């Protein structure tokens, strides 16, 4: 079953959402997936940006969407990018093959363990962009435990997403959880390296 998303046709199914944050996947497979998603996002950015700097396939059909979606689509918050190698930054890059949306969400964790800043770059429909924008606002000031509890239903309820657009909020939830895992992996690696250095020094 398909539906019209503002200007272009997408598939409503969310059964084949692609997650890049699955730790059980082989590292080489995960790397290929992330490279593919990153490449798709970069191509989208080169091919066309809207006036506000958010890549979009076309204008949102106003009469079909709630004002909250239109607000975040036309005036998106926190569009941008951070250094993915920064140990204090967690990066989540996810895509939905069912509709072609690609979302990159990044968060910076402060010394107090709370999110100081969150940014995104998204290629997709207006609902995907709005979901990204709202989610970055929602994250600010929360600690990682709170962020990990995010539910797509919260995003969908605030934006008043229509049923055929719920997959956009699911993608945002996936991006947050992927960013948290990325940050935690960096923290664990840094802690291991510090322990190794201390052990070597005392040997």
Please give the structure tokens belonging to residue 1: 């079953």
pLDDT of residue 32: 63
**Residue 28: per-residue pLDDT:** 60
Minimum mean pLDDT range among 16-25, 31-40, 45-54:
16-25
Q: Is 148 left (phi over 0), alpha (psi -120 to 50) or beta?
A: alpha
Average pLDDT over residues 7-26: 37
Q: What is the mean pLDDT of residues 107-135?
A: 95
From 5, 125, 147, 168, the catalytic residue? 168
Look up the CATH architecture of domain 20-192.
Alpha-Beta Complex (3.90)
Q: What torsion, rounded to 10 degrees, do the Cα atoms 98, 178, 135, 146 define? A: 140
Q: What is the pLDDT of residue 29?
A: 57
Q: What is the DSSP letter of 161?
A: -
Among residues 141, 166, 139, which one has the least CA distance to residue 152? 166
**What's the 3-state SS for 16-70?**
CCECCCCCCCCHHHHHHHHHHHHHHHHHHHHHCCCCCCCCECCCCCHHHCCHHHH
pLDDT band at 82 (very low <50, low <70, confident <90, very high): very high
Whole-prediction pTM? 0.70
Average pLDDT of every residue of the chain = 77
Alpha-carbon distance of 28 to 117, in angstroms, equals 30
Half-sphere exposure of 145 (CA within 13 A, CB side): 2
Task: Pick the range with the lowest mean pLDDT from 118-122, 136-140, 181-185, 196-200.
Answer: 196-200
Q: Is the pLDDT of residue 174 over 50?
A: yes
Region 81-89: mean pLDDT is 96
Average pLDDT over residues 126-132: 93
Active site residue 99: yes
* Residue 7 designated active-site: no
Write out pLDDT tens, residues 92-115: 999 876 668 899 999 999 999 999
Of 14 and 165, which is predicted with more confidence? 165
Closest CA to 68 of 176, 154, 167: 154
Between 196 and 67, the more confident residue is: 67
Nearest alpha-carbon partner for 126 in 13, 6, 11, 14 = 6
Look at residue 50 in the predicted model and tell me its pLDDT.
45
The single residue of 5, 7, 99, 147 carrying the catalytic annotation is: 99
Alpha-carbon distances of 70 from 75, 139, 150, 159, rounded to whole Å: 8, 20, 22, 9
């Amino acid at each position: 079953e398909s539906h019209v998303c503002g200007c272009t046709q997408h598939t409503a199914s969310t059964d084949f959402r692609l997650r890049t944050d699955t730790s059980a996947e082989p590292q080489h497979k995960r790397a290929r997936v992330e490279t593919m998603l990153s490449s798709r996002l970069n191509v989208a950015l080169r091919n066309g940006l809207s006036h506000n700097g958010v890549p979009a396939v076309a204008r949102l059909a106003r009469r079909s969407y709630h004002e909250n979606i239109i607000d975040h689509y036309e005036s998106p918050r926190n569009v941008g990018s951070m250094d993915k190698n920064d140990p204090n930054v967690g990066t989540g890059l996810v895509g939905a093959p069912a509709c072609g949306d690609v979302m990159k969400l990044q968060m910076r964790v402060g010394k107090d363990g709370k999110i100081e800043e969150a940014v995104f770059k998204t290629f997709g429909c207006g609902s995907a962009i709005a979901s990204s924008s709202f989610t970055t606002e929602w994250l600010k000031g929360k600690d990682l435990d709170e962020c990990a509890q995010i539910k797509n239903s919260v995003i969908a309820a605030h934006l008043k997403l229509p049923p055929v657009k719920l997959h956009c909020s699911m993608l945002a939830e996936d991006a947050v959880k992927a960013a948290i895992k990325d940050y935690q992996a960096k923290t664990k690696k840094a802690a291991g390296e510090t322990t190794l250095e201390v052990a070597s020094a005392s040997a």
